[in-house]
Structure 1
C-alpha cells in the first residue's frame, strides 16, 4: 500500500530537483525526505529517483508514479473540500499570494466582494512575484496564487493546477521627454533597438514579456538598469537613463516627471493575469468564494486570454468571463 503523504515527497522532488530544495518546500529535513523516498521506493518496488550532478531526476518508474500522483492528490483535494463543506461550510482562512499590482487591481477589490458574500472567510495576503507564487501553491504554502504567464510557468493544462483567467493588460512605452520619439502617439519597438533599456530583473515575469516583445520586433533589448519597482523604472526613464516597457496599470497615479508614455505601434506586449489553485481545491468552500470574488473584482479590467481551463479542458461556466 502506497502512503499518500509520501507522494508529496515525489512531486516536490520532481518540481525542485534537489533533496534540499524539496525538503525546504515541505518544511522537512533533507534526511526526512530521503527516508520517506526510500520508504516509497520500498512500497512500490521500484527505484524512483536518480542523482544527476548535484540534483535528482525521476526514473521512468518515477515518471509513471508521478502521473498517478497528480491524479491522486487532486482527488484528495476534492475529498477535503467536500468534507469541509459538509462539516463547517465557508468559515476559515484563505492565503493568497500575488504580485503587487495584482494585489491592487484584483485581490484588494476581491476582499470587498468577499466581505459581503462570505463574511466568515478571512484572507491573508502575501506579496510574491508570479514565478514565486505558483510554486508556493504547489508546495501548499498558500491556497491561491495570482500570477502572470512567463517562460517556464506550468502550462494551462498542467494536471497539478486549476487556472482561472482574470484580466489582460498591455504594456506601454515610457521614454525620456527629450527622446527623439517622445512626440509620437505610437512607437514601433524596432525603433528602440539601439537604445539603452531599463527593465525588471531576470526571473521577473514582466521581463519575459519585454524580452519576447523585443525579440518579436527583431532585437534583444540592452538592459543597462534593472528594477522590479515600476515607480523606480519611470523615475530612471525620467532622468534620461533609458527607455522601458511598463504595464499600463503600473503607470496609474505615477508622477511621470520628465518621462512620456506612448502606445506600442502594432500588437502591444501583454501580460495575462490568472488565479491558480491546486487541482481539486477549486471546489473547496473557502477557496471557491475567493476565486469568484477575484472574478467579480476584475470584470471590465480587460478580457482574459481564454476561458478558465481545468485539466482535461473542462471549463467552469461560473468563472467564464467576457
Structure 2
C-alpha cells in the first residue's frame, strides 16, 4: 500500500529539486524527507530519484509514479471537499494569496460580499507577488490564489490546478510631461522603441507583459530603471527618466498630475488575472463561495480592455 503522505513528499521533491528545499515547504527535516522517500521506494520496488548535480531528479519510474500521485492527491482533495459539504462546512478559514492590485480590485470587495452571504467563512489574505501565489497553493500554504499569467507560470493544462478567469485589463503608456507622443489620443507602441524605459524587475509578471508587448511591436525595451512599485514608476516618468506601461487599475489612486497617460495602439499589453485552487478542491464548500464572490467582484470592476 502506497502512503499518500509519501506521494506529497515525492511531489515536493519533484517541484523543488532538492531534499532540503522540499523539507522546508513540507515543514519537515531533510532526514525525515529522505526517510519517506526511501520508504516509498521500498513500497513501490523502484528507484524513484537520482542525483543531478547538487540536486535530484526523478527516474523514469519516478515520473510514472508522479502522474499517478497528482491524480491521487486531486482525488483526496475531492474527498475532503465532499466530506466538508456533508458536514455543512459553511464555517472555517480560507487562506488567499494575491498580488496587491488584485487585493484592492476584487479580493477586498469579495470580502465585503462574503460578510453578508457567508459570515462563517473567515478569509486570511496573504500579499504575494503574481509569481509567488501559485506555488503557495500547490505547496498547501494557501487555499486559493489570485494570480497573473506569466511566462514561468504553470501551463494552462497544469493538471494540479483549476483556474477561474476573473478579468483582463490593459496597460496604459505613462509618459513624461511634455513628451511629443502625449499630444495624441493614443500612443503607437512602435513609436516607443528608442525611449528609455522604466519597468518591473524580471520575474514580476508585469515585466513579461511589457517585454512581450514591445516584442510584438518589433523591439526590445531599453530598461534603464527598475521598480516593482508603480508609484515609483510613475514618479520616475514624471521626472523625465523614461516611459512605462502600467496596468490601468494600478493607476487609479496614484498622483498622475506630472505625467501623461495614454492607451496604446498596436498589439495591446494585457494583464490576465485568474483565481486558482488545487484540482479537486473547487467543490469545497468553503472555497466555492469565495470563488463566486471573486467572480462577482471581477464582473463589477471596470478593468476590462478597450
Structure 1 runs, 4 residues or longer, greater than 2 Å off: 300-305
1:214 is aligned to: 214
Kept in 2, the 8 Å contact 1:170–1:270? The answer is: yes
2:56 is aligned to: 56
Structure 1 residue 280 displacement after superposition: 0.4
Structure 1 residue 82 displacement after superposition: 1.1
Q: Map residues 288-307 of structure 1 onto 2, 5 A cutoff.
A: 288-301=288-301
Structure 1 residue 300 displacement after superposition: 4.0
1:2 is aligned to: 2
Kept in 2, the 8 Å contact 1:166–1:304? The answer is: no
Cα distance in structure 2, aligned partners of 1:124 and 1:277: 15
CA gap of 1:196–1:113, structure 2 versus 1, over 3 A, is same
Do residues 128 (structure 1) and 137 (structure 2) align?
A: no
Q: What are the ranges of 5 or more consecutive residues in structure 2 without an aligned counterpart? A: none
Kept in 2, the 8 Å contact 1:174–1:262? The answer is: yes
Structure 1 residue 164 displacement after superposition: 0.3
Kept in 2, the 8 Å contact 1:199–1:227? The answer is: yes
Q: TM-score, normalised by structure 1?
A: 0.92
Cα distance in structure 2, aligned partners of 1:252 and 1:176: 18
SS where residue 130 of structure 1 aligns? coil
Do residues 277 (structure 1) and 277 (structure 2) align?
A: yes
CA RMSD of aligned residues (A): 1.4
Cα distance in structure 2, aligned partners of 1:23 and 1:36: 11
Q: Map residues 5-24 of structure 1 onto 2, 5 A cutoff.
A: 5-24=5-24
1:73 is aligned to: 73
Structure 1 residue 224 displacement after superposition: 1.1
SS where residue 85 of structure 1 aligns? helix
Kept in 2, the 8 Å contact 1:275–1:291? The answer is: yes
Cα distance in structure 1, aligned partners of 2:298 and 2:251: 18
Q: Map residues 25-174 of structure 1 onto 2, 5 A cutoff.
A: 25-174=25-174
Do residues 243 (structure 1) and 265 (structure 2) align?
A: no
Cα distance in structure 2, aligned partners of 1:241 and 1:263: 20
Structure 1 residue 113 displacement after superposition: 1.4
Structure 1 residue 218 displacement after superposition: 1.2
SS where residue 172 of structure 1 aligns? strand
Structure 1 residue 220 displacement after superposition: 1.1
Cα distance in structure 1, aligned partners of 2:293 and 2:136: 21
1:260 is aligned to: 260
